[in-house]
Amino acid sequence: MTFMSPLLPLPLPLAPLAWLTGFRRVPDNSVVTVHRFGRFVRALGPGWRWTLPGLDHLGQPVCLIGHHLLVVGARGDEAELYYQILDPALAGEALDDVDALVIHEALPLLDAPQGAEPLKTALNQALGPKGVRVIRCRMA
């Protein structure tokens, strides 16, 4: 009588095969950046996507909706921002650190005395060409 492992009859999972052939699965409501030789090439949308095995390196998945950020200005003013990524192709390489992009655009605007709605409008004008939209802004 021989003892067989219960895992032995199972076929190999398809994940390593997909990885070797270059197929990648991007989760729903997410996007992933593709870098080749350390440079940004493109952004992959949700679903199964093909990449060049060994050449393309993927960044971390970035959720397209539901971003929340607290930005503190130089004078101590605080703005609570809710934003989403509308066009990942326009955001490009900034997708890897989209929070830093929003903070970079928001800090100069926080120093000027204004309310939440003018801040939201100014941020949308600055971030719109980069594929990002501020949905809600609250001054604290």
CATH code, domain carrying 83? 3.30.479.30
- Global pTM reads 0.78
Tell me: the pLDDT tens digits for 2-32?
A: 444 344 443 456 556 666 677 888 889 999 9
Structural domain containing residue 87: 67-139
Nearest of 49, 129, 55, 56 to residue 94 by alpha carbon: 129
Q: How far apart are CA 78 and CA 114, in angstroms?
A: 12
Q: What is the per-residue pLDDT for 128?
A: 94
Tell me: the pLDDT tens digits for 34-60?
A: 999 989 999 999 988 888 888 888 888
Q: How far apart are CA 89 and CA 45, in angstroms?
A: 10
The structure tokens listed for 55 are 């050449």
Q: Are residues 52 and 72 in the same domain?
A: no
